[in-house]
Amino acid sequence: MIEMFAEATLMLMRFDVIAMIAAGLTLGMLVGALPGFTTVMAMAIVLPISFFMEPILGIPFLIGVYKGGIFGGSIPAILVNIPGTGASVATTLDGPAMTRNGQSRKALEIALVASAVADFISSFWTIIVIGIIAAIALLIGPPEIAAILILSLLVIVVSSSGNFLKGMVMLLIGCFLAMIGQDPIGAMVRFDFGFHPLQAGIHLLPLIIGLFAIPEILIAIERRRANVVEKIEGRRAEGERLRWSEIVGCGKTIMRSTVLGAGIGMIPGVGQVVAAFMGYSAAKNASSHPETFGKGEIEGVAAPEAANNAVNGPTMVPLLTLGIPGDNITAIMLGAFVAQGLRPGPQLFQEQGVLVYSLLISMLIACVLLLVIGYLLTPLFARIVSINKAYLLPLMLLFAVAGTYVYRSNIMDLYFMIAFGIFGYAARKLEFDVTPLVMGFILLPPLEYAVGQSTLLSRGDLFGYLVSSRPITVAVLVLAPILILWIAHRQRKIARAAPAGSG
């Protein structure tokens, strides 16, 4: 294996390979930073270009677009509170707060470092133990997905701060909104109130852009200041750069999130969202100063960013070992492989081992290059906040509207976005946090799907089925209340230890 590694690495040491990865990263980052343009779309558009390149150039190019796009999505989440995807919603908990505190450059840089480091470690780990991960991936079926989702939701709810009742109300509203449209198992239309456009359900993008961007714009208008960030004499609006000591300070958080993300990465589809929130909750629970989370805590940016990028490694495993794509991104990668005449699966490893390893190693190179290119570009992005509000706010509105529409060219999505914008504004004024709503909206459908599938798989005897043939599910479900009690206990201890009034 060492020999194959060396040979594979040598194959990649070409100027054009490195240049293609760098081009992909830059392209991905720019596209990902535009709300509405998802990483999947960017990859689908450049896919045909890769058809006509050598495999060693075309596939690393796509990997570059992929990794650049995922990081790019965090940029508007941090700067202007517009998360382009579900995966970057957790980043809005502390990212925009850091920007408002005049630390946008620092926030972007810690996001970059956390993303690249976590991605590198998880990809490296994946390459080493790909066989074991593949075996575990086969053990994860609908009952396990349901159990892990339930556990995650409980952990996130218990460790979230703020008014518990308000949080639950928002969570339930989110769950209800997610139920509009066809039910996932029987495809029966529900809650459409006889209104045809509702049959297709509400899409995530108008919901998050509406809930986050529109209130942000309206509230910025209300504040009678020329800039989004308060200008302090003799200091730049984007603030200082990231210090080495701060990276070291976040080291533990990044590691914890990486482990969590690489574990949760087994859940196809929603892995990134769950990982980001779990990473955030875990960082907060472990922190000695949990009260600073949500107010511009640097670890609050590092944690979700590391977690959602650590998912990337494991999601490639079913594609490479079985030839089965778990989500849209890996499906596009599959397309790139087959168009090159390479058929991912067990045979490819035997026949083209060196090529497969060189593609895997190109993922590592992409992480390193991401750090370099990101480091060069973040100062530019960070300066966006120094634009005068009179120009920045209309631009934000333009991107919010264009981003919502461009996703699938559906005019209904714009109406939904405006409606959610008004709702989000009212919620902010009444001090309701909309994050639980988004979480419920994203996590309920896969949970409902998995529970429905599990019930069907059990052919009527759900309890007996779980006990007799689903040991992992039972273990997770037994572990859940223990973990919840432990977190609650810890929180009480910290609350007691902290002097009253300081939190």
When asked if residue 472 is in the footprint of another protein (CB under 8 A), the reply is: no
What is the footprint of another protein within residues 35-54 (CB under 8 A)? 40-41, 43-45, 47-48, 51
CA atoms within 13 A on the CB side of 142: 18
Nearest to another protein of 98, 147 (CB atom): 147
When asked if residue 154 is in the footprint of another protein (CB under 8 A), the reply is: no
Question: Could you give the string, one character per residue 256-295, with x where binding to another protein holds by CB under 8 A and - elsewhere?
Answer: ------------xx--------------------------
Query: Between the CA of residue 488 and those of 56, 285, 297, 423, what are the distances in Å?
Result: 51, 9, 22, 32
Nearest to another protein of 303, 336 (CB atom): 336
Nearest to another protein of 68, 335 (CB atom): 335
Q: How far is the CB of 309 from another protein (least distance, A)?
A: 20
According to CB under 8 A, which one of 108, 332, 360, 385 is a site residue for another protein?
332
When asked if residue 96 is in the footprint of another protein (CB under 8 A), the reply is: no
Indicate the burial class of 472 (C-beta count within 10 angstroms; 0-12, 13-18, 19 or more).
middle
According to CB under 8 A, which one of 339, 397, 419, 498 is a site residue for another protein?
339
CA-to-CA distance for 256 and 258, rounded, in angstroms?
5
When asked if residue 132 is in the footprint of another protein (CB under 8 A), the reply is: no
According to CB under 8 A, which one of 53, 331, 477, 484 is a site residue for another protein?
331
Indicate the burial class of 243 (C-beta count within 10 angstroms; 0-12, 13-18, 19 or more).
exposed
Nearest to another protein of 37, 71 (CB atom): 37
Indicate the burial class of 452 (C-beta count within 10 angstroms; 0-12, 13-18, 19 or more).
middle
What is the sign of the dihedral through the CA atoms of 32, 58, 48 and 337? negative
Nearest to another protein of 346, 394 (CB atom): 346
Beta carbons of 127 and 360 less than 8 angstroms apart: yes
- The partner residues of 190 in beta bridges, in order of sequence, read 181
Question: Could you give the string, one character per residue 206-245, with x where binding to another protein holds by CB under 8 A and - elsewhere?
Answer: ----------------------------------------
According to CB under 8 A, which one of 233, 409, 489, 501 is a site residue for another protein?
409
Beta carbons of 336 and 288 less than 8 angstroms apart: no
CA atoms within 13 A on the CB side of 68: 32
According to CB under 8 A, which one of 225, 243, 343, 493 is a site residue for another protein?
343
When asked if residue 180 is in the footprint of another protein (CB under 8 A), the reply is: no
According to CB under 8 A, which one of 6, 16, 295, 347 is a site residue for another protein?
347
Query: How is residue 478 written in tokens?
Result: 């037994």
Element (H, E) at 455: helix 435-458
According to CB under 8 A, which one of 128, 131, 232, 346 is a site residue for another protein?
346
Q: How far is the CB of 221 from another protein (least distance, A)?
A: 33
Beta carbons of 392 and 216 less than 8 angstroms apart: no
Report H helices in 340-388: 346-351, 353-382
Question: Could you give the string, one character per residue 436-465, with x where binding to another protein holds by CB under 8 A and - elsewhere?
Answer: -------------x---x--xx-x------
According to CB under 8 A, which one of 328, 352, 386, 491 is a site residue for another protein?
328
Q: Which residue has the tokens 């579900």?
A: 86
CA-to-CA distance for 228 and 106, rounded, in angstroms?
17
Instruction: Kindly calculate the radius of gyration of the chain based on its CA atoms and give it in whole angstroms.
Output: 22
Contacts with another protein: how many residues (CB under 8 A)?
A: 57
Following DSSP, what letter does each residue of 144-169 receive, concatenated? Answer: HHHHHHHHHHHHHHHH--S-HHHHHH
When asked if residue 348 is in the footprint of another protein (CB under 8 A), the reply is: yes
When asked if residue 307 is in the footprint of another protein (CB under 8 A), the reply is: no
Provide the binding-site residues for another protein, judged by CB under 8 A: 40-41, 43-45, 47-48, 51, 137-139, 141-142, 181-182, 184-187, 189, 196, 199-201, 203, 268-269, 318, 322-332, 335, 338-341, 343, 345-348, 408-410, 449, 453, 456-457, 459
